[in-house]
């Protein structure tokens, strides 16, 4: 926890679990944790994959001019909880 400066961690037992069951377990524990942290003032930011990230980078100048997108990005900067992932639980994908 100290090395990565994490405040909270959750561990699940995946021994003998299929890939699909592991994803379900991860989803449930993430939902439980987030539910315990959310209140009426929470702004929840959700991110996903490199493709979307890089698409956003390439189109940022054009998109930022749209008032709805600009407002959404401003809201995202104020997120109090961020839900994101890095890599995959499938070792053949994350290597």
Domain limits, the chain: 1-37, 39-94
Q: Convert the pLDDT of each residue in 30-58 to its tens digit.
A: 888 888 888 988 888 877 666 666 665 55
Handedness of CA 11, 13, 15, 20 (dihedral sign): negative
pTM exceeds 0.75, yes or no: no
Question: What stretches of 11-85 adopt beta strand conformation (E)?
Answer: 44-46, 81-83
3-state SS, residue 57: helix
């Amino acid at each position: 926890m100290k090395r990565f400066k994490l405040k909270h961690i959750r561990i699940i037992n995946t021994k003998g679990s299929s890939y699909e069951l592991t994803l379900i377990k991860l989803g449930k524990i993430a939902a439980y944790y987030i539910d315990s942290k959310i209140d009426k003032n929470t702004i929840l930011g959700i991110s996903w994959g490199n493709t979307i990230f890089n698409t956003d980078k390439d189109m940022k100048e054009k998109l930022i001019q749209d008032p709805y997108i600009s407002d959404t990005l401003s809201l995202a900067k104020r997120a109090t909880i961020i839900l994101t992932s890095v890599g995959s639980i499938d070792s053949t994908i994350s290597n």
